Amino acid sequence: MGQYLVLLYESESAWSEVDDASRESILQAHNAFGAKHGAKIAGGNALQPTATATTVISDGAGGFTVTDGPFVESKEALGGYYLIEAADLDEAIAISKDVPAGFGGVEVRPIMVFS
């Protein structure tokens, strides 16, 4: 059994423009996803908007540059994640198809295991 990180990339502006009823519907969809796949979910969280991000970049000589904001600008932003356990990538993809990400999509990445 392997672990996969399911990264939710969505439009922050679309999310911020959603009315309360739609927001509640989206949250209920995430609750339904959790209920359906709870045995396979090892963790997950929503993230604060990219405006709260801080980027730390090494200069290669022992120093760092610290800046406000995300590392890259993009149309969709990383908004949250689920850590899931699946037998293989095919199962991880099947589970990921149920993730409610109506303002964007998801990325599925295997967790690297160090022995």
Instruction: Name the residue with higher pLDDT: 71 or 107.
Output: 107
Summarize pLDDT for 30-75 with one digit per residue, the tens.
999 999 999 999 999 999 988 888 888 888 999 998 888 877 777 7
Is domain 2-110 in CATH 3.30.70.1060, yes or no?
Answer: yes
| Confidence (pTM) | 0.86
Say how far apart CA 103 and CA 87 lie, in whole Å.
Answer: 28
Summarize pLDDT for 7-25 with one digit per residue, the tens.
999 998 888 899 999 999 9
Say how far apart CA 101 and CA 26 lie, in whole Å.
Answer: 9
Going by their DSSP bridges, the two strands 41-46 and 77-86 should be labelled as antiparallel
- Whether residue 95 is predicted with pLDDT greater than 80 in this model: the reply is yes
Question: Per the structure block, which two tokens stand in for 69?
Answer: 């904001």
Tell me the domain boundaries of the chain: 2-110
What is the pLDDT, as a whole number, of residue 74?
Answer: 76
